[in-house]
Every structure is written in C-alpha cells, then in structure tokens.
Amino acid sequence: MFRARIATSLFAILALAACDKDKSTTTTTKAESPTTTSVTGNAMPKTETPATAADPGHAADTTGAKKEPVVTFKTDLSTPESVLYDDANDVYIVSNINGKPLDADNNGYIAKLSPDGKVETAKWIEGGKNKVTLNAPKGLAIIADTLYVADLDTVRMFDRKTGAPTGEVKVPGAVFLNDIAPTADGRVLVSDTGMKAGAKGFEPAGTDAVYAIDKAKKLTTIAKSKDLGAPNGLYSAGEKTWVVTFGTNELYSLDAKGKKGDVTKLPKGSLDGIVALPGGDVLVSSWEANAIYRGKPGGEFKAVIENVKSPADIGYDTKRGRVLVPLFESNEVQAYEIK
C-alpha cells in the first residue's frame, strides 16, 4: 500500500465506495469453509476439527478484541506492506515499499525479522544493489526455493536462501500488482488491485484482475473485470481462489474459469490481507475497521484484534500460532497470538 499521506487519499476514496455497499454480515451465497492446502516452502495450515467448549486447551480464539502484541518490530522498516513466515528458516520476511506505491524508483527492499523480536537482516534484498530491481514490493509467497514478490507490473523471483534474483514475469496491462499466493500444483496467483494516480489522488484504473503463473513462468488470466472490486488479498484452497477486496467489503471465491461465487460481506471494507487458520477459519485485515476479522466464508466475521491502524497484507506463523500484522503507516510489524 502506501506512505501515510498517500494512503490516506486512497483509503478515503475506497472507504467512500465501500460505504455505498451493504455493510451487513449476512451472505448472498452460502459456502463451505475452504480447505487449506500444503505447499512446499509456504505450507498452509492443515484442516482440523474445530475446537469445542469441551476442549478448552484448543478452543478457537474468536474473542478478545483488545489483544496486545506479543512482539513488535519498530526499526529498519519503511512502509511495510506484506509479512510472510518462512517456515524452513523460521524467519519473518517483510516487503518494504520505501517510497511511493506507484514509483519505479528501485529503492524497495525485503527485510528478515527473527520471531524473538530482532531484525535479522534489515535489507536482505535491496533494490539497486546486487543486480536487484525492487520498486514498490508488496505481496510475497514462497514455493520450494523461490521467493515471489509482486512489484507494480512485474512478479519478481529470488532465491529463498541467498536472495539472489532468479527471474521475473511481466504482467501486461497491470498497474498495481498486490498480493501473491501459492497453489498446491506449484503455480502462484497474483492480484492487480487496479489503482492509478489521478488528479485528486488515487482512482480506479479498471485493470482489476487475478492472474496465475505456472512453473514454466507462463502467465494466464483467471479473471479480469471491474466487478472484482479491487482484488487484494488471495489464497488458494483446492480448485478455488479466495479473494478479499480493497474496493468493497467482500470475500469471494473464483473457480478455475474465473467465475465469482461464495460472496460474503464483512462488517467493514478496505480489506487487504487474508490467511487461513487450522479448523477452516480465515483472518482478514481491514483498513476501514482498523481491525483483523475472523470467520468462515459464508458465516459471520468478528473483530479479534482492534485498534491496528492501516493493517496491510498479514501473514501467519504456523509454528507459534501468530498473526503477523504490517502497520503500513506507522512503519511497524506486530505479532499477535491467534490459535
């Protein structure tokens, strides 16, 4: 997303659009809870039987909106947009825009954070150095030994161990590539939120889309339409791609042919990141609500973390049961226990 003054403009525009939508928590289409899928290097939580009151040691954490972070990172971050847990190396990887979100300034960078609260490597991958190009890095995903990064109109690839660049895929017509998610068959999904700079701030570009890139770096379009509502956060479960929107307060699925379904309305909009939890619940970050919501597609969503301003593309530490929240405007990353 964006630096504070720019983010405010975009948030105001999209929040206004979201206010025109139905703010209820009811659903237009009832859906089954998505089944999560393990992917090498970026394993999604395995589906488990939801906890009950008879099992307090594993009870689902659906309350406690006044949670405090267990870890907060406040140094060496500059407009953090996305946090990814690298389970193989037990580190948090953070994309830093470090400038305006649409500028091809080649000064973005990727940081490595230790789960114990330390900055392991402030600028592990840095634009303009070691043959790296990074302009405004946002969404992150790992498959096998490759780190994928969404960067304006290009998906960039880096070695998971060394950080060396290993390739890229241009996305023709894209203007605001945002989130990335792995699939079980080795592809990566990437959203184009479809925003551009206008005379009065940010405005829709009409390029809203979700794409897929396969192992051979072939690009295909899953869906492309203004009706996608400025698609932002993504994750893959089975044959469905789940999407949350920054332009509305919707969570929905796309099937293999790009058909939209399973639409669920969240209480408030300007939705950014989405992660899956054991048991079938998902967490969704909302700029408009300054909160992290929890619920199941087709069901009710409630805030489980509040008072987090500008929560961008969240991640999940599967080892410790933590949601990782990048606070875009305050240059922080916070970790909260969510089981």
**Which of 23-32, 157-166, 232-241, 304-313 has the least mean pLDDT?**
23-32
Cα four-point dihedral sign 106, 203, 236, 36: positive
Looking at per-residue confidence, does 38 or 254 come out higher? 254
Mean pLDDT, range 195-216, rounded to an integer? 92
pLDDT (tens digit per residue) in 61-109: 544 457 999 999 999 999 999 999 999 999 999 999 998 889 999 999 9
Which of 138, 175, 180 lies closest to 41, judged by CA?
180
Whether 231 and 177 have beta carbons less than 8 Å apart is answered as no
Q: pTM higher than 0.75, yes or no?
A: yes
pLDDT (tens digit per residue) in 121-141: 999 999 999 999 999 999 999
Q: Six-digit token pair at 271?
A: 């939705």
| Cα–Cα distance for residue pair 294/283, rounded to 1 Å | 5
φ and ψ of 11, to 5 deg:
-60, -40
Spell out the residues 6+ positions from residue 34 whose beta carbon is closer than 8 angstroms to its own: 235, 237, 238, 240, 242, 253, 276, 280, 282, 297
- Give CA angle at 333 (275, 34), nearest 5°: 5
Kindly report the CATH number assigned to the domain that includes residue 44: 2.120.10.30
Average predicted confidence (pLDDT) for the chain: 85
pLDDT given for residue 225 in this prediction: 97
Number of neighbouring beta carbons within 10 Å of residue 201: 15
Q: Number of folded domains in the chain?
A: 1
Residue 180 belongs to domain spanning = 4-337
